Every structure is written in structure tokens, then in C-alpha cells.
Amino acid sequence: MKQHIPVSDLSRYARLVFGEKWKDGLLVMLVPIPQVESFADESSDRHRKDVLCVAAFMAKEAHWRMMQAAWMERLKADNIKYFRMADSKSLHGRGGFYRLREDYKPRAAAHAVADKLRGDLVALLIKFANYWRGFCICLDVPDYKNVLREYPQAREFFADNPTMTAYGQAMYEVAFTASRKTKGATKVAFVIDKASDSPQVMQQFERVAINQPLFKATAKTIIPLDDKDTPPLQMADLIAGTVKDHYLEWQRGGKVGKFFLNNDLDHCFERGIGIWDTKHMLRLLEKTLRSTRYAKGTLARITKPEQAMSKRERKKLHREIEARIQRERNEKSV
């Protein structure tokens, strides 16, 4: 007897979150005004030493169901209950990839089956590319830690755990795009993986809502679900993992030229793939320090300094950051 594979009922969640008119809107998880459902997941190198990628993508509820059915059908062909990028590479985990080691000998043959499955799933997402929009943030972990170490003020807004920062930026990109494309008529419902970091990610959601009025006006809610039962989260995991692999290759090659994936997935990302490196973080820090809300102390902070900087101290820091950004720019041009 085949084991039943539980799958999250997205329509049920839409009803719970948005009420009776969940089908009336243009986008997924609908209420009286159009709603967008965005699934986000993360991928990093084994110890998060090099890069952390967070992918988010959104689609209409009907398209989620269509993609979900095709996704589950492809997994079923290899007797896989659910997909996780890490499991597909290690051939471990409870989703069924460990069986490939038993069914295919030698081990290289099992890896070949897993590789083909990943390729087929990417092809499936490309096939449905007209029905979803993607967003991805690649955070350079060494650069991130260096900025936190060299500029203590950055710790007020950038967490020690880079996951919070990457998720916050990915969700903001989704909300910004949804608002811009629909002139503020669209609300966004986020679904994230119910993992150990999810409480912190939900706190980041609240922090972004305080600091970004557009996000607050657009973001409806955030829900943690089990990725084993939620194929769209598995899709996000595949996308984040694929981007991460390409980013590591680009990083090891000296970051020459502009980063892109060299495949049809490039066209699926609404605003390109965001790279959080030293220069980008310094620009964000400078912009934050220049804001009147920072001077007034009304921005939500992760940590609060014992004593606020004076206007003179802020100007001095601006000059230092500007000089550092220019050095980064000059080094890249050499």
C-alpha cells in the first residue's frame, strides 16, 4: 500500500487568512482586494561561511495548484515524498533520496538519478515561468561580517544572524514590486519554512513593517508551514539552492563580470538577483544614517546604542563610508 503524502491545502490557508472572498481577487490568497502569496526559503553553503541565498516567488492560487500537481507527479516517479536540495545532493533525509542509494549501484548512478530529478524540476519551473515571478537575495557572508565588525552602527539594523537580513530584504522586494505593479492595490501573504529561524524571520517581518511604510501597507501576514507538506516551499528551496551553487562558482572565480545563472531561470527574476556585498551594505547603512527618522530615533532597531551619535559624528561617519565605497569601486575597476 502506497503511503499517503500530505500536502498543504493552500486554499484552506487562504480562507483562514483572508476570509470568504478569497477567490474574488486577481492574485493568490485573496481577500476583497487582490492578494499575493509569496513562498520564501533559504539555501547556504554547509556552514554559512560563503553565501546565504533567500529565494521568494509568487503566483496565483490556481497556478500554485497546477505547479504543485506537476511537481508531486515528478517526485512520485522516483518514489520521493518531498524535495530538499541538500537531501538530493547527499542522498540522505526522510524524503526518500536515501532509497536511491539502495536502488542504484554504484553510488554514482544514484547521484545521476538525483541530478536528473533536479534538472527536471528546474525545467518544470521554467515551463511555468509565465505564471510566477521570482526574487532572490545572495548575501556574501564574509562581507557581511566584515561590515558588522568595522562599523558597529550597522548592528543597529543588520542582525548577527544574516538570515534575518536576507529574508527581510527578499520580502521587501516582493512587496515593493507588488505595490508598484498594481499601484498599491495588492496585498501580500508570505509563507516561510517552519524552521528554527522562523520566529526570528517573523520578528524581522514586523521590523520591516515599522521601518518601511510601503511594506506595512502591502504585507498582509506571514505564516510558517512545514516544507515537507508544502511543495511551493520546496520549489523555493530548489531555486535558492540553484542560485547559491552558481554564486559560489562566481565567487570562487573572483566575481568577474555581472552575476547571472546562464540559463532560462534568469528571466524569471523580477528585479534580477540582489547581491549583498560590502559596497551594497555600506550604501544602505549610509542611507539609513542620513534619514531623518534615524536622527529622531523612530526606526526599529535590533540593538540600541548607549548614546546616540551627534550630528558631527554622523557626518564624519558619512565621509568614512563614502571613502570606503570609492575604494571598493576602484578595486573592482582594476
Give me the pLDDT at residue 125, please: 92
> Torsion angle, CA of 257/259/262/264, rounded to 10 degrees?
-140
In Å, how far are 42, 209, 272 from 157, measured between CA atoms? 20, 13, 24
- State the first-to-last Cα distance of the chain, in angstroms, to the nearest integer: 64
pLDDT number for residue 260: 78
* Residue 105 pLDDT grade (very low, low, confident, very high; cuts 50, 70, 90): very high
How far CA 63 is from CA of 32, 55, 141, 216, in Å, comes to 19, 18, 34, 26
Least confident of 53-67, 164-178, 203-217: 53-67
DSSP 1: -
pLDDT in tens, 34-61: 234 455 666 766 555 788 888 888 777 7
At residue 192, what is the residue type? I
Cis-peptide into 32, omega within 30 deg: no
Residue 15 exposed, middle or buried by CB count within 10 Å (0-12, 13-18, 19+) = middle
| Between residues 91 and 31, the one the model is more confident about | 91
130 is written with which cell numbers? 509565465
The C-alpha cell that represents 10 in the structure block: 493552500
The per-residue pLDDT for 71 is 96
The pLDDT score that the predictor gives to residue 39 is 58
Q: How would residue 17 be classed by pLDDT, with cut points 50, 70 and 90?
A: low
Residue 1 pLDDT greater than 60, yes or no = no
pTM of the shown model: 0.80
- Provide the pLDDT confidence category of residue 28 given band limits of 50, 70 and 90: very low
Tell me which DSSP letter residue 230 carries.
Answer: -
pLDDT > 80? residue 290: yes
CA 214 to chain centre: 19
Average pLDDT, rounded, for the chain: 80
User: What does the pLDDT read at residue 237?
Assistant: 87
CA 7 to chain centre: 22
Dist. CA 187–CA 182, nearest whole Å: 10
Q: What are the two backbone dihedrals, phi and then psi, of residue 149, each rounded to the nearest 5 degrees?
A: -75, -40
How confident is the model over 99-105, as a mean pLDDT?
A: 93
Q: CA dist 202 to 14, 44, 224, Å? A: 19, 20, 9
Percentage of residues in the chain having pLDDT higher than 70 = 83
Instruction: Extract the C-alpha cell encoding 299.
Output: 526606526
Q: In what order do the strands lie in the sheet with 219-225?
A: 219-225, 187-193, 35-44, 51-59, 132-140, 269-276
Instruction: Look at 41 and 303; give whichever has higher pLDDT.
Output: 303
**Beta partners for 55?**
41, 136
* pLDDT at residue 29 is higher than 50: no
pLDDT at 2 exceeding the cut of 50: no
CB atoms < 10 A from the CB of 94, how many?
11
Amino acid 34: pLDDT? 28
State how far Cα 138 lies from the chain centre. Answer: 9
